Amino acid sequence: MKRWIGIWVLVSVCCATYARTYSDSAVYQGIQIKLDILNSILEPARTHGNMQNYEAVMNVRIKNRFYPTIELGYSGGKATIEPTTYQGYGGFVRLGMDLNTMKKNQNLPHALLVGLRIATAYQQYDLTQVKMNDTFWGEMPYKDFTQQTRCDAWGEVVAGCHVNIASGLMMGWYIRLKLLITRTEKNNGPMPYYIPGFGYRDDTNWGLNYYIGWKF
């Protein structure tokens, strides 16, 4: 954990230095780093502390119109859907581009955004008490799948906004429609109930983020 905190601090300092150097450019207009505070509070609250979720976003403002974006996160924990229990943790990354639909104005820090993402997640997990079915013998006894690993991918359509609250201080939100690409089970076990960054397994999913951050 200390290693990742150190890397994050180093990246932030480098971004801030770069931003101060080129912030007056007609093309490049700064970097924003934001933390999701909604899911970091909501996910543990609604699962009684069993699930955790942490997300951070970094995007670049180009000509007040385009926002290349990278989103990093870590989530997981324990969830039970009787009689099966899922327990796992993993990280995820989303890459994409947002388009500012507001009138182009270099001096206007606010933005109304629409965009696309491609995302992937890797996790390690256990599934216990999984009810198995056999096409020949019929219903089989429960089975445990432990020390499983899986990589999933999905696409997203996003819409949101961010506003400048004070000098450099930004707040905003995203709403997401998520479309799962990797829907098939592995040969040695079923899909997990939870996918980091995507949520509970389904072909489609919705997400909502509320961010607070800083513009460099």
pLDDT, mean of residues 118-135: 85
Q: What pLDDT does residue 19 have?
A: 43
- Which of 216, 122, 209, 199 lies closest to 171 in space, CA to CA? 209
56 contacts 37 by C-beta, under 8 angstroms: no
Which architecture, in CATH terms, is 2-215? Answer: Beta Barrel (2.40)
The residue that leads in pLDDT, 18 or 130, is: 130
How big is the chain, counted in residues? 216
pLDDT band at 186 (very low <50, low <70, confident <90, very high): low
Most confident of 4-13, 104-113, 190-199: 190-199
pTM for the model: 0.80
From CA 100, how far away is CA 113, in angstroms rounded?
Answer: 5
Whether the predicted pLDDT of 73 surpasses 90: yes
Question: What digits encode the pLDDT tens for the residues 50-66?
Answer: 899 999 999 999 988 99
**Which are the contacts of 6, defined by CB distance < 8 A and separation ≥ 6?**
none
Each domain of the chain, given as residue ranges in start order, spans 2-215
168, amino acid identity: G
143 pLDDT above the threshold of 70: yes
